Amino acid sequence: MSVQSSLASDHQLARLLQIGVVLEEVVEARAAKHASESDDIGGEVRALLEAAVAESADHRDRLEGLVDELDAETVGFAEIERLVEKQYEAEEAFDGVLYDQLCNEETAYKFYDDLIEAIEGSNARFSVDRGRLLRILREVRADEAEGVEAVTDLMERGQR
């Protein structure tokens, strides 16, 4: 254990990107599940969920490209979908579609923010180009920030 954010190798970077892929897969699976199974949601909320599914799939592709360059593999979407489904059915208390989506977006934002900070604070030489890596992660983080804003806006307008 270490108190330092020691992002020191390709291996650790790949592992964190693999976690990012899983987070995107969780967002994608949960948002798709909400969109298909919630009968009482409005058009705007449904559109937001469908956009979130598409955006997560795009983020996942971009992260998978980086993981691939680091000579590692990612967990397939079908497997994460199965795990999400299993827990989803077991959830007794549910705080609402928009609240869940807000958690999705906020969590992803926080993850990318911490990852970017760890890369910026690391002196390690990675196999992937550092500039391109950071550019991709910053773009994805910006998407998540916009996502948080969009969900908050809908919540404040009382949408369901």
Partner 1 sequence: MNTADQYLKAIYLVQELEDGPASTGAVADQLDVSPASANEMIGKLESDGLCDHEKYKGVDLTQEGIVRARDALQHYCIIERFLLEVLEVEEFRAEAGQLEPVIDETVAERLDTIIDRAPQCPDCFDHEADVCRLLAIDREPADAD
Toward partner 1, which CB reaches closer, 116 or 155? Answer: 116
> Contacts with partner 1 in 108-127 (CB under 8 A)?
110-111, 114-115, 118
Toward partner 1, which CB reaches closer, 57 or 103? Answer: 103
Task: Report which residue type is found at 19.
Answer: I
Min dist. Cβ of residue 5 to partner 1 (A)? 4
Q: What are 145's two structure tokens?
A: 């920030």
List the one residue out of 38, 62, 53 whose CA is nearest residue 147: 53
Distance CA 34, CA 112 (A): 24
Asked if residue 106 binds partner 1 (CB under 8 A), the reply is yes
29 within 8 A of 46, measured Cβ to Cβ? no
List the one residue out of 110, 111, 117, 109 whose CA is nearest residue 134: 117
Q: Which of 57, 72, 134, 148 binds partner 1 (CB under 8 A)?
A: 72
Asked if residue 32 binds partner 1 (CB under 8 A), the reply is no
CB-CB neighbours of 60 under 10 Å:
22
Toward partner 1, which CB reaches closer, 3 or 78? Answer: 3
- Side-chain-side CA neighbours of residue 107 (13 Å): 16
> Contacts with partner 1 in 2-31 (CB under 8 A)?
2-7, 11-12, 14-16, 18-19, 22-23, 26
Q: Could you list the residues that contact partner 1 (CB under 8 A)?
A: 1-7, 11-12, 14-16, 18-19, 22-23, 26, 70-73, 75, 80, 83-84, 86-87, 103-104, 106-107, 110-111, 114-115, 118
